[in-house]
Structures are given as C-alpha cells and as structure tokens.
Amino acid sequence: MNSLDVRRTLFERMIPFNHKLAPLFIRDSLHSIIPEGTEHIFVMGIGSNVINGDSLGPFVGTLLHNLYPKHLTIFGNLQSPLDAQTLIPQVSGITLPKNSFVIAIDSVLGSERIVNSIVVRDGSILPGSGLGKNLPQIGDCSIMGVVLENNPTLECSLLSTNLHLIYTMATNIAKGISLAVRQYYKYPSIHPLLQHS
C-alpha cells in the first residue's frame, strides 16, 4: 500500500477500474513500456492477504500463477504474499536474469478524483509509503489500484474496503498482463487468460 504521488514519468495512464475495455488498455499500456528483446517478465504482487484494501497485488498474483511458466514468473500471491514482513527477505533473494522486466502491482491511496482508478506507470513503485513504511523501490513499471482516498481514517477503511472493487481491479489487471504476455510472446489466442476465472 502506497500513496500515489504526482511526479513526472515517461508514461502514465489512468483507467476506470470497471471499464469494459480496461484489460485492453492495460495490455496496450504495457506494450508501450516493455522494451524490445525482453526475455522474461516478473510480476511482484505486493500487499497483504489479511487486509481487504491491501490485497490487490496478491490477488493478481494468484490469478496469474503458473500461467505462462516459460515467460512469466510471479512473486506474491494470496498464499504467499509480499507484505511488509516478507518483501525485503524475498526480493533480496531474487536474481533477475538479463533482459528481464519487472511489473510491480500494489494498492495505493490517492486524491478523491482518482479513487477507483487503475494507474499504469512507467517506473518503480515505493511500497508501504502510504502506511509510513520504509521499503525499497520495486519494478520497471507499476500497476496501481487506487482503492481509497488518502486521508487520516486510512487504517480502519483498509480493513473494510469493498472486496468487489478489489476483485474487479485484480481481474482486469491480471487479464491485461495476461493479454500483454500472450501477445508479446505470441502464444495462441486459445491460451487461457487467467488461472481462476
């Protein structure tokens, strides 16, 4: 869980969480960011499996788990989340091969006008900043779900965040990543988009 700061990036796109074309917008956004020659994509599903509002990253990880084993590796899912306790030990033990690309997924807090949006951004994410945690930056690009307004009642609101919002965001993000991988590595269109749909 971090807060969405306003900073200059090479690419940023905001997508309504429930837009019927959200997966296609996410796919197109990723295609404009993933460098040519990328041999493997890693997804870091950051967040908790016990706090509704912070479960977006692990939810996406579960939906994508073992879907394209040759080209896509997932860290962080509902069974083994990358949360504040596990993030540093797990990430520090990962050696990424050459020509790999990392997509970081996390829930974020943002201004009222962008709540319920999915934000795809070229550049890393700073996990835990919304909760005052000091964790390392992660990702070559980030996909963030703006689940709540950045306000003082955060702790209580996170626990009772609408699961329909999280589920819809997670499904659209996972489908968007799946479409991007499927197209980038030329998998047949009959290849399933998600593990659990």
Domain membership of residue 149 (yes or no) is: yes
Domain membership of residue 189 (yes or no) is: no
Please state the pTM of the whole predicted model: 0.91
Position 129 pLDDT exceeds 90 = no
Tell me how far apart the alpha carbons of residues 107 and 4 are, in angstroms, rounded to a whole number.
Answer: 9
Q: How many domains does the chain have?
A: 1
> Can you tell me the mean pLDDT for 41-60?
94
Cα–Cα distances (Å) from 137 to 61, 111, 123, 126, in that order, read: 19, 22, 9, 5
Whichever domain contains 64, its CATH number is: 3.40.50.1450
Structure confidence at residue 180 (pLDDT): 97
Nearest C-alpha neighbor of 107 from the set 58, 72, 39: 58
Domain membership of residue 196 (yes or no) is: no
Domain membership of residue 195 (yes or no) is: no
Structure confidence at residue 7 (pLDDT): 47
The residue segments making up the domain with residue 96 are: 2-184
Angle, CA 162 vertex, CA 1 and CA 86 arms, to 5°: 30
pLDDT, tens digit, 9 for 90 and up, residues 145-197? 999 888 766 556 777 788 999 999 999 999 999 999 999 999 999 988 987 55
Mean pLDDT taken over the chain: 88
Structure confidence at residue 86 (pLDDT): 80
Which one is predicted more confidently, 156 or 46?
46
> Can you tell me the mean pLDDT for 42-53?
93
